[in-house]
Structure formats: structure tokens, C-alpha cells
Amino acid sequence: MSKSLKRVRAALEAAGEPVEILEMAEGTRTAADAAQAAGCEIDQIVKSIIFRGEADGRVVLFLTAGGNRVDGAKASHVAGEALGKADGKLIRAQTGFAIGGVAPIGHTSPIRAFMDPRLMEFAMVWAAAGTPRHVFALSPGEIHRLSGAQLAEFTS
């Protein structure tokens, strides 16, 4: 089991969440792939979009519904600073996850996070569990609570 997957499992267990982490043979690199593999609507997929804060170089996490796109200008406004592209090296260094497997929880260091209110419309949502092939399902309220994300409008 990868270190990333172990961190997500540990974070769920520490929160008292009896959640099954599933390995998807097809992979879950895109929201469409994840929705197909999980058998759910695309908007039930929690996409983890990472930007780099221009003020301090720290990454900022945006959790959005799978069918939505993060609007850069709105995201910058919500974050209170200009945001730029975060490359894979920076993402791994600050979250502990590789692109395609960034989970909403279990980061190696504290991270500022914002959550798309669209996700709150579902009873259950699916999120990456630390690898591009592993996912878990949880209520959006629990994702919100565990991630420490702030609900905000940042999609176009």
C-alpha cells in the first residue's frame, strides 16, 4: 500500500469514519473516468484542483464537483491573492500527493481549502484516496468537515 493511500486511510480512521477505500481497475485520473468507475453522476466526483498562491508560494486546494471548472479569477478572489499554476513537484512537496490522486484529506502539511457548494447537493460524493486508482465515498458534509474547507463560489 502506498504512503499516500495509508495517510488517507489513517485520516479517515482518526476521524472515526468507517469508509471503504476502493481500487478502480480503470483508474480515476479524470472526473469522467472516476464517475464511470464508481457508477455515479460526474458532479458526485470531488475534483481536487491545486493552485499556487502568488503571495507566499503555498498551494491552495479547491474541491469542486466533477462537471464544474474552477474559474481562476473567482478562485483568486476567494483566496484573497493572485493564484498561479502549481506544478506536480510543488503539489507533491506540499500535499504529499501526485497529480490525479490528490485527496481532500491526509495532506503532509496544512493546506488552505475551499469547497464548491454544488457538492453539498448530494447524499454521497466520491474523492481520490491518495492515488489515481483509489477512491472513497463519504457525505459531502463529512468531506467539508474533515478537509476544513470553506464553502465558496469559485466555478464558472
Q: What is the CATH number of the domain that holds 33?
A: 3.90.960.10
Residues 6+ positions from 118 with CB-CB distance below 8 Å: 43, 64, 65, 68, 155
- Type of residue found at 34: A
Can you give the pLDDT at residue 138?
96
Residuewise pLDDT in 10s, the chain (156 residues): 799 999 999 999 999 978 899 898 776 667 888 898 889 999 999 999 999 999 999 999 999 999 999 999 999 999 999 999 999 999 999 999 999 899 999 999 999 999 999 999 999 999 999 998 899 999 999 999 999 999 999 999
Considering its fold, how many domains does the chain have in total?
Answer: 1
- Rounded Cα distance, 44 and 122, in Å: 7
Q: pLDDT at position 29, please?
A: 67
Instruction: Scan for cell 493511500, then name that residue.
Output: 5
Quick check: is 79 in a domain? yes
Domain that holds residue 137: 3-151
Q: Would residue 10 count as lying in a domain?
A: yes
Say what the pLDDT of residue 38 is. 87
Q: How far apart are CA 80 and CA 97, in angstroms?
A: 24
Residue 156 lies in a domain: no
| Residue 143 located in a structural domain | yes
Q: What is the pLDDT of residue 139?
A: 96
